[in-house]
Amino acid sequence: DALEPFYPDRAASRILGMGDVLSLIEKAEQAISQEQAMQLEAKLRTSSLTFEDLLDQLRMVKKLGPLEKLLDLVPGMSQVQGAKEALQGKTMARVEAIILGMTPEERRHPEILNGSRKRRIAAGSGVRLEDVNALIMQLHDMRRMMKGVMGMKKRMKHLGKVHRS
């Protein structure tokens, strides 16, 4: 299943470290349905991303194939060694284990995660408490970033209306 059609221009781009966005898009279209993409977009717009959404995203990324090969398709990422190491399969497996260690209620409402729940999740998933805390912080950071992006988008739209008048 690692065989794919040969496109000389795409192969040259990969060799030169310029990525292959078209192949990445094709892989994503095969693995992710339009409906899933729309649901994720709606969650991102409202900054209501949950651990269930994060778990769904991890599973979608797994369908795309090994991360090392995916990163080679992204322009500029083939030279960034830290990105490859940070996104290795072990890291993804650890994140998945942490999320699966949560109850469905905790996945949907991460704000209820207190100290004892975090310790239970860490013990159940075989990771350190710091790993659980780091994942919770990542989700909060993602929510905050999306809220900022959506706010900026609204401000830009408003500025466009003001300048047209």
The whole-number pLDDT of residue 96 equals 92
* pLDDT the model gives residue 111: 92
Question: What is the per-residue pLDDT for 154?
Answer: 67
Residues 6+ apart with CB under 8 A from 14: 20, 72, 73, 78
Q: What is the pTM of this model?
A: 0.61
The pLDDT tens digits for 34-87 are: 776 677 667 766 667 889 888 887 887 777 766 666 666 666 555 555 555 555
pLDDT at position 124: 95
DSSP H or E segment with residue 158: helix 129-164
The H or E element spanning position 76 is none
